[in-house]
């Protein structure tokens, strides 16, 4: 089954063609970073306008790069939420139009399911990458979410923990702004932290030892702000040390909770997903600690960590009838829950 995926939940305009939920024949993304940069964050009205301008071309490019036409497509999968309302409706309207015009089945996909299913895609650099074996625990870390998920089988899962305040990606972006790094902050902070000492400053690791699987990152962000208020020169002279120390606090908590969840549930596989799963320290530390406990650690190929449409088509393949709707039932749902 070959599905066309469409993703416009935030500021990336994306379309992809995916075969059997496994092989991305194309994965096209038009980034809007240059239009939001001067505002230091995503401006919803700009995001939806840019989706309107570029989505048709992005869909055409996804078909062309896959060497396919609409005649080769068996269904259309689209992100219905969660996300920005004005952004979501652009993708949903396009999918609806295509499903009607081409008489194709439509799949209403939750963006977070998409991130999780990114682990089922192969990597051109790693073609024999194994499929995740259920049950497993998946840490979904993005700009809006930090959720720990118990996956019982593909398409059946339960949220066992979540952030009580800021998401991990949000904390990265806010601390990047405190350090004057620009937009988007997460990857810039990741790069800067490589030159810093993660033990230079001891920032708090909230809820690290508590028995729940919930997270909290707003205190950490505030603690970095207080440190920079008291030592303004550190934002210039020791920015890499601040970045590395902040990152160590985030990654320590994310890894500790994920490993604890695996132990508590008795699962032998853990997986990462969402934009922050592109983070170099999180990928390496979770691998190292997980493998030391004899666990299988899955991290999605880098191209499928941050927002993309291949993960949306992949999720549709695995969710099947659970996601299938008639085109007139497709609706943007900005608060779509797990
Ligand atoms: O999943 P995603 O692309 O969009 C949402 O669904 O939110 O995640 C975006 C988030 C942003 O907060 C971004 O700063 C963060 O992921 N991010 C990173 C890295 N790459 C993206 N955070 C830390 N290190 C990275 N390398
Ligand atoms: Zn996302």
pLDDT digits (tens, 9 = 90+) for 7-24: 999 999 999 999 999 999
Q: Report pLDDT for 155.
A: 86
Q: What band does 176 get if pLDDT is binned at 50, 70 and 90?
A: very high
Domains along the chain with CATH numbers: 2-123+304-329 (3.30.420.40), 136-299 (3.30.420.40)
d(CA 93, CA 160): 33
Residue 222 makes CB contacts below 8 A (sequence gap 6+) with none
Q: Report pLDDT for 43.
A: 97
d(CA 106, CA 99): 6
Q: Report pLDDT for 130.
A: 85
CA-based nearest residue to 114, from 330, 275, 290, 282: 275
pLDDT digits (tens, 9 = 90+) for 103-158: 999 999 999 999 999 999 998 777 788 899 999 999 999 999 999 999 999 989 99
The whole model's pTM is what?
0.97
pLDDT digits (tens, 9 = 90+) for 288-333: 999 999 999 999 999 999 999 999 999 999 999 999 999 999 999 9
More confident residue, 228 or 129: 228
Atom number, ligand 1, closest to the C-alpha of residue 184: 14
Q: Give the distance (Å) from ligand 1 centre to CA of residue 218.
A: 17
Closest C-alpha residue for ligand 1 atom 24: 279
Percent of the chain with pLDDT over 70: 100
CA-based nearest residue to 74, from 109, 105, 107: 105
Shortest-distance ligand to the CA of residue 145: 1
For 46, list phi and psi in degrees, rounded to 5: -65, -40
pLDDT at 269 over 80: yes
CA-based nearest residue to 46, from 181, 174, 151, 183: 183
Q: What band does 173 get if pLDDT is binned at 50, 70 and 90?
A: very high
Q: Report pLDDT for 177.
A: 96
Indicate the DSSP class of residue 128.
T
Pocket test for ligand 1, best of 7, 37, 143 (most atoms within 8 A of CB): 143
Q: Give the distance (Å) from ligand 1 centre to CA of residue 247.
A: 13
pLDDT, average across residues 255-276: 98
d(CA 338, CA 321): 17
Q: Give the distance (Å) from ligand 2 centre to CA of residue 83.
A: 9
Q: Report pLDDT for 61.
A: 98
pLDDT digits (tens, 9 = 90+) for 44-67: 999 999 999 999 999 999 999 999
**4 beta partners:** 17, 76
Atom number, ligand 1, closest to the C-alpha of residue 306: 3
Atom number, ligand 1, closest to the C-alpha of residue 186: 14
Closest C-alpha residue for ligand 1 atom 8: 275
d(CA 324, CA 329): 10
Q: Report pLDDT for 209.
A: 85
Which residues form the pocket of ligand 1, taking CB atoms under 6 Å from any ligand atom?
10, 142-144, 169, 172-173, 184-187, 190, 274-276, 278-279, 306-307
The mean pLDDT of the chain is 97
């Amino acid at each position: 089954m070959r599905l066309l995926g469409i993703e416009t939940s935030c500021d990336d305009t994306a379309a992809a063609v995916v075969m059997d939920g496994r092989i991305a024949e194309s994965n096209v993304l038009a980034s809007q970073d240059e239009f939001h940069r001067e505002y230091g964050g995503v401006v919803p009205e700009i995001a939806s306008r840019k989706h309107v301008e570029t989505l048709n071309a992005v869909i055409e490019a996804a078909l062309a790069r896959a060497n396919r036409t609409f005649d080769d497509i068996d269904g259309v999968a689209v992100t219905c939420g969660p996300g920005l309302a004005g952004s979501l409706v652009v993708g949903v309207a396009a999918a609806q139009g295509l499903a009607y015009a081409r008489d194709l089945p439509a799949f209403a996909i939750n963006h977070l399911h998409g991130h999780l299913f990114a682990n089922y895609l192969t990597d051109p650099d790693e073609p024999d990458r194994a499929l995740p074996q259920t049950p497993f625990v998946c840490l979904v870390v993005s700009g809006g979410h930090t959720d720990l998920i118990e996956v019982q089988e593909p398409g059946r899962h339960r949220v066992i923990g979540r952030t009580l305040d800021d998401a991990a990606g949000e904390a990265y972006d806010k601390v990047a702004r405190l350090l004057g790094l620009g937009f988007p902050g997460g990857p810039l902070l990741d790069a800067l932290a490589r030159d810093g000492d993660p033990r230079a400053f001891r920032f708090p690791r909230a809820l690290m030892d508590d028995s729940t699987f919930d997270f909290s990152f707003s205190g950490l962000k505030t603690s970095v702000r207080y440190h920079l208020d008291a030592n303004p020169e550190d934002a210039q002279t020791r920015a890499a040390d601040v970045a590395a120390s902040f990152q160590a606090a985030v990654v320590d908590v994310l890894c500790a909770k994920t490993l604890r969840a695996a132990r508590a549930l008795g699962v032998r596989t853990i997986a990462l997903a969402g934009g922050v799963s592109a983070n170099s320290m999180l990928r390496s530390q979770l691998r190292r600690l997980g493998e030391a406990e004899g666990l299988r650690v899955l991290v999605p190929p880098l191209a499928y960590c941050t927002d993309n449409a291949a993960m949306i088509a992949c999720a549709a393949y695995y969710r099947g009838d659970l996601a299938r709707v008639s085109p007139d039932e497709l609706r943007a749902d900005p608060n779509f829950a797990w």
